[in-house]
């Protein structure tokens, strides 16, 4: 890997850290090959082993540029997730809160399978979730929650959700009975609770990676997203298995949901513009993001 300026390199390594940056130049490292020229696989990960040498044309400055590109991606993903999270909190609080202001504390709204303690566990998923959200309420310093606490008033659903993070929110949807789930899905013009639950799980994972400044541009998920195959939107995208387990698939899902929440959003335009600026580093391809073969964001597929 070429270092164009020792002074700049020292400053970059001091600012971002060697180990963090190494994840961004890793794809540019050359492969270990056997005598026949085939890639040698790691016995632990099953992935091709890498050498400490780099492909021709790799520079430290480009690795830093890729890090900054990834940072911009994370900020855009958080922007979309915030919009979806706030809307979902609003919908949950309205649909369940109008039935019972304290619905989030009532087991009557929970799928019975989550009320029983599974073998090997000490508490049910419902009890675990209830304890988690109670802890978040206890820690919260939001004025609306403090007022209810000081006034010794019960905290209604529409106030309680202000203390929840995305994980608490998504798990609450997961453990609800079919009927209240249907109320939420109807507000989003959806019907498949299983697929939506999977989306929420993966959005939460992405949200946590972004919030903790962890690389996302070429991250592969252990739980590929499912598409709504009856939807013309997903039929047009025709996501490949690679897309479904990488960032492209998440971008597709986030945009699908954003259009339900805010049809006037220009988020996908910002994403496309940013994706097209990805630094050209050896080994760091658009396919690693899950995009179809080609150069850049598939604008035509999204109609932009």
Residue 12's alpha-carbon distances to 16, 135, 158, 263, 282, in angstroms, are 6, 40, 45, 41, 20
Cβ distance 217 to 70 under 8 Å? yes
Q: Is residue 178 part of a domain?
A: yes
Residues 188 and 260 in one domain: yes
Residues 78 and 145 in one domain: yes
Q: Is residue 1 part of a domain?
A: no
Q: Is residue 237 part of a domain?
A: yes
Give the tens place of pLDDT for each residue, 68-91. Answer: 999 999 999 999 999 999 999 999
User: Which residue did the predictor score with more confidence, 1 or 50?
Assistant: 50
Residues 40 and 73 in one domain: no
Q: Assess whether pLDDT exceeds 80 at residue 194.
A: yes
Q: Which token pair is 266?
A: 């220009």
Which of 15, 49, 64 lies at the terminal end of a domain, its last residue? 64
Give the tens place of pLDDT for each residue, 249-270. Answer: 999 999 999 999 999 999 999 9
Q: Taking each helix axis from N to C terminus, what angle separates 178-187 and 60-97, rounded to the nearest 10 degrees?
A: 120
Question: Which residues are registered as beta bridge partners of 54?
Answer: 29
Cβ distance 50 to 27 under 8 Å? no
Buried b (16+ CB within 10 A) or exposed e, 106-133: eeebbeeebeeeeeeeeebbbebbbebb
List the domain range (segments joined by +) for residue 202. Answer: 65-302
Give the predicted TM-score (pTM) of the model: 0.92
Residues 201 and 293 in one domain: yes
Read off the pLDDT of each residue in 55-67 and give the average, rounded to a whole number.
93
Residues 26 and 160 in one domain: no
Residues 73 and 60 in one domain: no
Give the lowest-confidence range in 27-41, 156-170, 173-187: 27-41
- Element spanning 90, H or E: helix 60-97
Cβ distance 9 to 3 under 8 Å? yes
Residues 6+ apart with CB under 8 A from 194: 226
Give the tens place of pLDDT for each residue, 196-247. Answer: 999 999 999 999 999 999 999 999 999 999 999 899 999 999 999 999 999 9
Residues 227 and 84 in one domain: yes
Residues 130 and 155 in one domain: yes
The total of structural domains in the chain comes to 2
DSSP letter at 240? -
Residues 54 and 162 in one domain: no
Residues 192 and 223 in one domain: yes
User: In angstroms, rounded to a whole number, what is the distance separating the alpha carbons of residues 69 and 246?
Assistant: 16
Q: Assess whether pLDDT exceeds 90 at residue 139.
A: yes
Q: Assess whether pLDDT exceeds 80 at residue 295.
A: no
DSSP letter at 246? S
Cβ distance 25 to 63 under 8 Å? yes
Chain centre to alpha carbon of residue 299: 22
Chain centre to alpha carbon of residue 59: 29
Count of positions (residues) in the chain: 304
Residues 6+ apart with CB under 8 A from 287: 242, 293
pLDDT score of 119: 85
- When pLDDT is cut at 50, 70 and 90, the band that residue 44 belongs to is confident
């Amino acid at each position: 890997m070429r270092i164009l300026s020792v002074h700049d390199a020292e400053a970059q390594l001091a600012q971002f850290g060697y180990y963090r940056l190494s994840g961004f130049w890793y794809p540019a490292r050359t492969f270990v090959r056997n005598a026949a020229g085939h890639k040698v696989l790691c016995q632990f990960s099953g992935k091709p082993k890498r050498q400490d040498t780099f492909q021709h044309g790799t520079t430290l400055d480009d690795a830093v540029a890729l890090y900054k590109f990834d940072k911009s991606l994370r900020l855009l993903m958080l922007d979309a997730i915030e919009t979806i999270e706030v809307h979902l909190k609003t919908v949950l609080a309205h649909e369940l809160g109008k039935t019972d202001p304290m619905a989030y504390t009532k087991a009557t709204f929970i799928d019975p399978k989550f009320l029983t303690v599974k073998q090997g566990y000490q508490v049910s998923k419902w009890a675990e979730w209830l304890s988690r959200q109670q802890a978040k309420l206890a820690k919260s310093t939001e004025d609306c929650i403090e007022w209810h606490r000081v006034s010794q008033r019960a905290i209604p659903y529409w106030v309680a959700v202000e203390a929840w993070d995305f994980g608490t929110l998504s798990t609450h949807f997961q453990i609800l009975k079919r009927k209240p789930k249907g109320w939420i899905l109807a507000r989003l013009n959806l019907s498949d609770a299983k697929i939506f639950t999977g989306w929420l799980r993966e959005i939460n994972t992405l949200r946590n990676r972004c919030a903790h400044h962890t690389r996302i541009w070429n991250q592969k998920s252990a739980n590929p997203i499912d598409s709504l195959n009856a939807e013309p939107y997903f039929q047009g995208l025709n996501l490949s298995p690679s897309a479904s387990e990488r960032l492209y698939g998440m971008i597709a899902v986030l945009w699908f949901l954003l259009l339900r929440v805010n049809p006037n959003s220009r988020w996908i335009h910002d994403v496309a513009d940013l994706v097209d600026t990805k630094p050209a580093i050896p080994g760091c391809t658009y396919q690693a993001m899950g995009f179809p073969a080609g150069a850049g964001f598939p604008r035509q597929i999204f109609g932009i």
